[in-house]
Amino acid sequence: MKNKDPVRSEGNKLSYIIATFFGVGYTPVAPGTAGTLATIPLYLLFAFFLSPLYYAIISIVLFFIGIFTAEKVSNQERGDDPKIVVIDEVVGYLVAMFLLPLSFTNIVLGFFSFRAFDVIKPPPARQFDRMSGGFGIMMDDVMSGLYANLFLRVLFYLLR
């Protein structure tokens, strides 16, 4: 007898692992915030061991993998942007921190500014958020990451 559980079927298991960022998306309270927090160790690995070029390439690859897996999980969960999908927060935070100086303060500022822009969703992030499918799920967080990155750059410029 075939297993009818969508998560346990072989074709979906990897998609769920990636889309939920190894299960972080199942956090019962604020899974998006948990996904962003869980990205900090990944960001540190990238910042310490990757050149900016490889950081960018891997982030772009994660973006496209995120589109595919978010789409698959979204269809399976029958929701436009299921709360368990946090790969978008992972990529968004990596975008927020791209080419910023590595420091504890910047990690914290990046976290809070990314989360703020992800909640506020200034245009065009809001328009992407309203799109169905993996591309919309991913792009609103990429836009929030871009806003956070630009915000921090302006803040650092004004404070120097």
Residue 21: predicted pLDDT:
98
pLDDT above 70 as % of the chain:
93
Residue 132: predicted pLDDT:
85
Cis peptide before 28 (omega within 30 of 0): no
pLDDT of 42-95, one tens digit each?
Answer: 999 999 999 999 999 999 999 999 999 999 999 998 877 899 999 999 999 999
Mean pLDDT of the residues in the chain: 93
Residue 104 CB contacts under 8 Å (≥ 6 apart), including other chains: none
Cis peptide before 124 (omega within 30 of 0): yes
Question: CB neighbours (10 Å) of residue 72?
Answer: 20
Q: Given pLDDT bands bounded at 50, 70 and 90, which one contains residue 10? A: low
The tokens for 4 are: 């009818």
Angle at 36 between CA 75 and CA 47, to 5 degrees: 120
Q: Given pLDDT bands bounded at 50, 70 and 90, which one contains residue 3? A: very low
For residue 8, CA distances in Å to 75, 114, 130 come to 15, 33, 29
